[in-house]
């Protein structure tokens, strides 16, 4: 009987604590630290690919092919319409939260993904060499907005702007009601 009472009290407490709200700065900070120190592996693994501009450039090419759909062309999520709507939001890869990871941790994230976020695992899709070069690219991102927005979103944005422009022109061509009073 005691075990069932403990389980019932625990269940009530858990349900009482289940409210939907944004996490506080403290909660977010604690979770970032837990993820950084406990969840994300390979903290002490060094990048076996020496940094060169050519390695970072090749990493950027792989990034453009596989990662830009969520992280934008520049790694800052520029032009990605759903980036802020994701839970958690797609991070700006230049942010200190990301840049504070070791190279080994960034490689681990690319390899294994992060559940339950939208970050997929690339193991078996990208080679180890390609992932390490992407780490070099992430360490040397171009300026925010400098590469524009991914083509897949550019067409959608142009269609939206065209529709808005057509709507504005229609509004301008309509006769305006006489509001002048004598």
Over residues 88-129, the pLDDT tens digits come to 999 999 999 999 999 999 999 999 999 888 999 999 999 999
Tokens for 114, please give them: 């992060």
Rounded mean pLDDT of 140-144? 97
pLDDT band at 156 (very low <50, low <70, confident <90, very high): confident
d(CA 57, CA 51): 10
Closest CA to 148 of 78, 101, 86, 49: 78
**pLDDT at residue number 163:** 75
d(CA 133, CA 55): 6
pLDDT band at 37 (very low <50, low <70, confident <90, very high): very low
**Contact at 8 Å (CB) between 134 and 126?**
yes
User: 150 CB contacts (<8 Å, ≥6 apart)?
Assistant: 68, 69, 72, 73, 79, 80
Sequence spans of domains, the chain: 45-157
d(CA 74, CA 140): 10
CATH topology for the 45-157 domain: Cytochrome Bc1 Complex; Chain D, domain 2 (1.10.760)
Neighbouring-strand partners of residue 126: 123
């Amino acid at each position: 009987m005691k075990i069932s009472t403990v389980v019932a009290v625990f269940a009530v407490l858990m349900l009482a604590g289940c409210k939907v709200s944004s996490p506080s700065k403290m909660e977010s900070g604690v979770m970032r630290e837990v993820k950084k120190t406990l969840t994300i592996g390979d903290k002490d693994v060094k990048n076996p690919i020496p940094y060169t501009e050519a390695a970072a450039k090749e990493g950027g090419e792989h990034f453009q092919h596989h990662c830009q759909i969520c992280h934008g062309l520049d790694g800052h999520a520029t032009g990605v319409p759903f980036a802020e709507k994701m839970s958690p939001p797609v991070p700006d890869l230049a942010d200190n939260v990301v840049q504070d990871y070791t190279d080994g941790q960034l490689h681990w994230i690319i390899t294994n993904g992060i559940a339950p976020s939208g970050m997929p695992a690339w193991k078996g899709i990208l080679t180890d060499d390609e992932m390490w070069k992407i780490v070099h690219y992430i360490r040397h991102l171009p300026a925010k907005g400098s590469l524009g927005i991914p083509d897949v979103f550019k067409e959608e944005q142009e269609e939206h702007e065209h529709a808005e422009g057509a709507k504005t022109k229609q509004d301008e061509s309509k006769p305006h009601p006489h509001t002048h009073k004598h």
